[in-house]
Structure 1
Amino acid sequence: MQDRSVWVMIIHAVVLAFAALTSFAYLTLMERKVLAKLQHRVGPNQAGPNGYLQPLADAVKLMFKEDIMPSLADKWVFIIAPILATIPAIVIFAVIPLGPDLVVFGERIPLAFASLNIGLLYFLAVTSIGVYGITLAGWASNNKYSMLGGVRSAAQMISYELAFGLSVLVPVMLTASRSADGLGSLDLVQMVNAQAGTWLGFIPKWFVFTPTGFIAFFLFLIAATAEVTRAPFDLVEAEQELVGGYATEYSSMKFALFFMAEYMKLIAMSGFAATMFLGGWRLPYLEDIAGNWGALVGFLVIAAKIFFFLFLSIWVRASLPRIRYDKLMDFGWKRLLPVSLATVAATAVIIVLTNPL
């Protein structure tokens, strides 16, 4: 049984890695297609039918590009930096629950590779590691534009991690208020289960439909966008100011690794937003489907929610201009952080008033 479980874990890890990499590849195509549609352009349409092989063409192009090493770069750090940026973006997928358990040949397989009691803590820890790769890339390149991009990245991520961490405390507190023992949990599966059922027979009991959960949801979206350095918070690689930012000196597959890390973090953030605020794989009237069909339906539900967040991110990129760096920092410290603290405090007060000891 133990050997079989090991093989199940290996297959699970391979399938998860393949799914994550495929999702990244076609997210790039989706972004280019959606941006083209919003800007009244055609978009990629030459590689394969209707451009559907464009991600493969991009991968081949990057593989055959010359891998240039700047003569003044710190060579070992220059090589390690893209790896340090990419690994956290991949391993973060391990704790995202993508549906109820599957049963294959009598073996129960959770649709989260690592179902941890500290899943949320793991998520916060891993997301904070990615900044090291970007910062080291800026420093090792020995280029003023790269260095400024790396420093900006560190300052931006540290500034917004405070509001980011406070916003995810609200789902933990709401999970505690709905549990029988009154204790919170950092297990993402328990958070999803706490959002089961409906109010009035048709309103899902998702945390986003609670007063403070709604506010925390938008705080999370803003902070997550800054963490992933997506527009309008893409000051780290502002072309008009920093050429290519921290990746200015990178080419070929090293550049592709940074590119992949950004998009995989975006997918992961979308998965966590769906899990913590929109009920994960749960949807009213579809929660009672049993067996593997229920797991398939649950997977399709959370995939649709992730797709919604990805489309929202692309829409924001097409709509909003990049904000000035001083305003970015001012917004993080003077606006977002106080509102996050107030939201956590308000959640605690509401829980105490509605669930007296």
Structure 2
Amino acid sequence: MSSSSSSTVHAFLGDELLTQETRDLISSLPKEKGWLGSEMYQFQGYWHTQALLQGLLTCQKRFEAKDSDIILVTSPKSGTTWLKALVFSLVNRHKFPVPSSGNHPLLFTNPHLLLPFLEGVYYKTPEFDFTGLPIPRLMNTHIAHRSLPESVKSSSCKIVYCCRNPKDMFVSFWHFGKTLAREETTDAEFPIEKAVEAFCKGKSMSGPLWDHILEYWYASREDPNKVFFVTYEELKKQPGVVLGRIAEFLGCGFTDEEIVQGKVEEIVNLCSFESLSNLEVNRQGKLPNGTESKAFFRKGETGGWRDTLSESLAAEIDRTIEEKFHGSGLKFSS
């Protein structure tokens, strides 16, 4: 990897833009070496790179939610790209009809550029003015429920949360991490066995995953008008049905006429893995943070963990799933 590519690939792993306030805080926080070759710091019970921790802190201080906001929440590698594409197309279906005459934003823009990533934006551009976004404002984040800005919790904004079978999420993040990791981080230094062990202990980016999922799971049961909870597996199995439910939740349900006209299926088809992954914009080039666009389109499968995890590693994660989710009523299909 050349030094020039290194400087962009690690936009959220470096420390070039850290404030003295963040540096002072970090010096007092628990620290761990992460999979990606950068240090992670524990804040409010979750692990973050120093850059994204600063983004989180700035977000907590400055972000003011509006009642009309829509915030998509995931843990890393849990269907974020797909969810962004679906909800963007859903909410903007009258402004950007599907199918279109080749001018739909998804045809020439990576989904990650259509919805700002809150802590990423606040790290790179702390003064960013979110009031300029079209209403309803669409945003996404990996922030845990307990760490959300107070205005998000107190307003009537809507949260759509998507999680994924932890084994698939781990494997997807493991492969994704290889495209981001620092040059000096090798499989010998941080083999997959060590990564699984850290993952099960909750020491992964935005982890513990278990707490992240359960906080939103319980929030959705306590206030289903505020938080919509769905698994990647449900979305994969019945994308049209789930999209319809999301539309109702957001107050922009499909009319009978739209359903008859096949508008639901048209959005699902436009946003499918096959469709998005074959677009030139998602096969070439990089995002501003340096990540290759194609890195977000590896397989998009369920159960793909079997190609990477040994039986013993899968069993280790399964034991953790059983322990952490026991009694919650939440189940994951394998």
Q: Which has the higher helix share?
A: 1
Q: Which has the higher strand share?
A: 2
TM-score normalized by the length of structure 2: 0.25
Asked which structure has the greater CA Rg, the reply is: 1
